[in-house]
């Protein structure tokens, strides 16, 4: 059957093992808002690293932020990649927000590629943020208040985004397990539909919740 002849299922059905729909706007809007907040914070830090402002706000550690952002480690990172780490944070967090807004509330099935791309942007960013905080403590020996805030936001984003990424991966796994057909798996990844692919989605939706 063609994509056009298949009916659109209820977009807001809960996806086991969760008792909610991981693609619901109630799940994604908080992610997008937090990502925009983190992008704004990173923009402030980036402006300081680029020399566009004279100081970076830090109510807790005083000159610690300047020591971190202007450290030898930060300078070496800039020399390697050609862009300051805070500027990379701006791009990554804006990517989180944009990808979070894209797609319907059934995108875990209808746009798995988008959900997985979203996860690739969110989850590694959270890991990198934790690594940078550890570098602050062990190598630089100073703390950056706003860097800690963005790191905390990154971990929250990972926690909130993971259930949707997991739902898409479970769906694709069921498509493969039921059919063992690379072409169907590829079609499912890009959001194409047929009876076999929809059957896999229904199998997931019919499971019991935790």
Quick one: which of 69, 55, 165, 150 has its CA closest to 115? Answer: 165
Give yes or no for residue 5 having a pLDDT over 70.
Answer: no
Rounded CA gap, 144 and 87, in Å?
16
Domains of the chain from N-terminus onward: 16-161 (1.20.1440.130)
pLDDT, position 85: 85
The dihedral region occupied by 7, where left means phi > 0, alpha psi between -120 and 50, and beta the remainder, is: beta
Confidence of residue 210 (pLDDT cuts 50, 70, 90): very low
Residue 34, helix vs strand vs coil = helix
Asked whether 163 and 18 are in contact (CB, 8 A), the reply is yes
Quick one: which of 17, 20, 22 has its CA closest to 206? Answer: 17
Rounded CA gap, 158 and 103, in Å?
19
| Mean pLDDT, residues 80-106 | 91
Confidence of residue 6 (pLDDT cuts 50, 70, 90): low
Asked whether 151 and 130 are in contact (CB, 8 A), the reply is yes
Q: What is the token pair recorded at 85?
A: 């780490």
Quick one: which of 172, 77, 74, 82 has its CA closest to 119? Answer: 172
| Mean pLDDT, residues 166-192 | 96
- Three-state SS for 163-180 is HHHHHHHHHHHHHHHHHC
Residue corresponding to tokens 């062990």: 138
Quick one: which of 188, 158, 149 has its CA closest to 39? Answer: 149
Give yes or no for residue 95 having a pLDDT over 60.
Answer: yes
pLDDT, position 1: 42
Confidence of residue 203 (pLDDT cuts 50, 70, 90): very high
Among residues of the chain, what percentage have pLDDT more than 90? Answer: 60
CA distances, 112 to each of 22, 167, 184, 190, 197 (Å): 12, 9, 13, 6, 12
Least confident of 2-6, 118-122, 153-157, 199-203: 2-6
Confidence of residue 14 (pLDDT cuts 50, 70, 90): very high
């Amino acid at each position: 059957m063609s994509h056009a002849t298949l009916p659109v299922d209820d977009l807001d059905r809960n996806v086991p093992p969760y008792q909610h729909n991981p693609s619901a706007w109630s799940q994604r809007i908080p992610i997008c808002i937090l990502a925009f907040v983190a992008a704004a914070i990173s923009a402030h830090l980036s402006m300081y690293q680029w020399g566009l402002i004279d100081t970076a706000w830090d109510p807790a550690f005083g000159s610690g932020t300047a020591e971190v952002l202007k450290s030898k480690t930060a300078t070496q990172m800039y020399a390697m990649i050609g862009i300051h780490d805070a500027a990379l944070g701006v791009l990554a967090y804006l990517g989180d927000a944009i990808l979070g807004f894209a797609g319907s509330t059934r995108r875990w099935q209808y746009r798995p590629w988008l959900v997985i791309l979203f996860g690739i942007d969110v989850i590694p960013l959270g890991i990198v943020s934790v690594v940078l905080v550890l570098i602050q403590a062990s190598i630089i020996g100073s703390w950056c208040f706003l860097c800690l805030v963005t790191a905390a936001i990154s971990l929250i984003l990972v926690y909130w985004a993971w259930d949707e990424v997991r739902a898409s991966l479970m769906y694709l796994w069921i498509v493969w397990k039921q059919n063992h057909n690379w072409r169907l798996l590829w079609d499912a990844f890009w959001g194409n539909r047929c009876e076999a692919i929809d059957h896999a989605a229904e199998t997931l939706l019919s499971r019991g919740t935790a």
